[in-house]
Amino acid sequence: MELIDDLFVGPMLVRTVHRPDAPLPDDLADRIIAALVQGLAPAGSPARA
């Protein structure tokens, strides 16, 4: 559970703390997940393109 917090909740929390007046984009969670999946994909896979 801590890993999930670190990977998904952490980026949103940090963004909120550093930019408290900025609105959160509706697709922020999707963008975080896409970046995570891209980073975990094997080299040369379509997810890294």
- Number of domains, the chain: 1
Whether residue 33 contacts residue 47, with contact meaning beta carbons closer than 8 Å, is answered with no
pLDDT digits (tens, 9 = 90+) for 1-49: 788 778 778 888 888 899 999 888 899 888 888 888 888 788 877 766 6
pTM for the structure as a whole:
0.58
What lies within 8 Å, CB to CB, of 16 at 6+ separation is 24
Q: Look at residue 48 in the predicted model and tell me its pLDDT.
A: 61
Q: Look at residue 49 in the predicted model and tell me its pLDDT.
A: 60
CA distance linking residue 44 with residue 13, whole number of Å: 32
Quote the domain boundaries for residue 30: 2-48
